[in-house]
Each structure stands twice: as C-alpha cells, then as structure tokens.
Amino acid sequence: MDPQRTTLAGPLPASSRQAARKSFAITNTYIKSTKKEIVSVHTSTPTVENLSFQIEQNQIYQGEVNILSIIDTNKDIMCCKYTEDVNEIAAGFNDGSMRVFSCNTGHCIHTLVDEETRAYPGPVTAIKHRPVSKANPITNMLLSSYVNGCIKCWKYKYDQCLYTIREKRQTLGL
C-alpha cells in the first residue's frame, strides 16, 4: 500500500495557518510564548547539563537558569568557542579581531589581532581550540579561520600568533 498524505498540498487557508502556528518562537535573545510551557535548553558545553525552565509571554528567562555573566560588545560576533578548560570563551568579530572573555566576569582578558588582520581585515569565520592529549600536551591554543583565506594559530595567553596558513580561497570552517 502506498503512503497517503495527511494534508493537501499547496497553500493553506488562513484558518489552517492559525492552527498550525507554533506555540513558541525564539528570536535573537527573546523567548516569546503564546502560553506557559516547559522549554528544554540543550547546551554543548561539557560541564553544563541540559536545563528545563518555564517561560511566560514576554519574559526572557524564568526558573532554574543562572546567568553567570553577560558579554556586551560594540561589534558583531561572527563565531564563538569555549577554551579547553571552559573558563574562557573566545569570540571572533567581523573586523578580524578575536577577544577572549572570562566566563566568570564577562570581561575581555585577551585581544588577538596582528598586523596582517589590521592591514587586511576580514571576518573571523570559525574558532576551534587545539585538542589536548598525552602525545600533544600543548594547551592555551586557538585556531581561527578568516574570510580572506587565512588560518591562524594563537597562543591566547600571550596574545601571540604562532603561525598563519594562507589559502587562495575563503576558509569558512575548521
């Protein structure tokens, strides 16, 4: 027996669109809800568990969510990544600079920019911390890719670029 459609194909009438509308939507930093419900927040950090909290209309957070710090910048953040010890978070900006913020205070503790990124600014497209293992015990290193084709390795505790790989095409990820 062939599978059958449960709804008709094509545009929906206004009454059906109203019924099919989602009960909540997440836009930027606001969580808007048409009724009170439970929303699960799943995080990708290794030390933070999944949280569930109740939301009401026009409230941003309510329940068991602890905001440790807020990072406020005057530039657009293109990407971000926790460091390997999850005590800092690195953010890549649209002007080619990277900043490392303390997760406890939200203050900028390192600014990563060199002469090349000042001369040829391009947005940071991805950040990744270098994996630490027994065979490779080097820590405090971040890799970053840029729209202009550069891939840089930063020793972020010393605000130093260790090496740069230059590609002839855009690098959008690591």
User: 78: which 2 tokens?
Assistant: 């293109």
Greater model confidence, 173 or 63: 173
- Contacts of the segment 32-40: beta carbons below 8 A, 24+ positions apart: 32/57, 32/58, 33/57
- Average model confidence (pLDDT) across the chain: 71
CATH architecture of 77-166: Beta Barrel (2.40)
Percent of the chain with pLDDT over 70: 59
CB 31 within 8 A of CB 51: no
Q: Evaluate if residue 8 carries a pLDDT over 60.
A: no
Residue range 25-84, pLDDT digits in tens: 333 333 444 444 444 444 444 444 444 444 444 455 555 666 667 777 888 889 989 888
Confidence of residue 18 (pLDDT cuts 50, 70, 90): very low
Residues of the chain with CATH 2.40.10.480: 77-166
Model confidence pLDDT, tens digit, residues 99-112 = 999 888 888 999 99
Max CA-CA distance within the chain?
A: 67
pTM exceeds 0.95 for this model: no
Radius of gyration of the chain from its Cα atoms, rounded to whole angstroms: 22
